[in-house]
A and B are shown apart, each in its own frame.
Chain A
């Protein structure tokens, strides 16, 4: 079954060094969920600020990882295994 693959638009705000971000990416891969992500610590200047401002719209604390689903219809902050499975593998 691959029908869950493209049902949602999934974007992750992450950091290249963050263990919980890595776990989150691996969880999504394991569930067969397609996603885009950005490692914000690898950006600089305007690019980084643009990403941070977008992130803060969905998560005012600006923490990582933050998963933005369907342009913000649903936002999951931190590695929330159960919630991710519930929302994305259904």
Chain B
């Protein structure tokens, strides 16, 4: 294994661990995904999701830089993220539960990124996401240690005190 692959694998393993996930139990698929992330980091300068099309313009791709903005919502609903790099404990223990995850990223985000790449958009700092979906984001508070997380769903485990998602309560909305 090349050094950059090993480094990517280490990074993703650490991220999975910190967030209460596991890496893809299908070893062959995991290898492809890690290779894809390394390729994307080389050609775009950041690890865009290997299973999505990226533009190479960071502002427009920010929602699909791994771990993507959709990971936690997909893991909560399907037990794994869109590309299956991150899975829940349940799916790790029974990989037969791995099923295709429908794309949650709005097509408008992909279109905007591709238009920007082809220079059809003047405003360079436009958000990659339609305003409606990025306006506000729920905030979750860990009732045990007070840790705050701004994300669609509570984290599977608190990164600080390690309690599970059910110890989180809604704490309003952030921008």
Contacts and interface: CB of A to CB of B under 8 A. Distances in A.
B50 A61 contact: no
Contacts, number: 67
Contact of A64 (B39, B51, B107): B51
B103 A61 contact: yes
Contacts of A61: 102-103, 107
A41 B33 contact: no
A78 B100 contact: yes
A72 interface: no
B51 A16 contact: no
Interface residues of A, number: 25
Interface in B83-97: 83-84
Among A19, A23, A45, A77, the one with the most B-chain Cβ atoms within 10 Å of its Cβ is A19
B50 A17 contact: yes
Contacts of B39: 16-17
Interface of B: 29, 32-33, 35-37, 39-40, 50-54, 83-84, 100-103, 107, 110-111, 114, 118
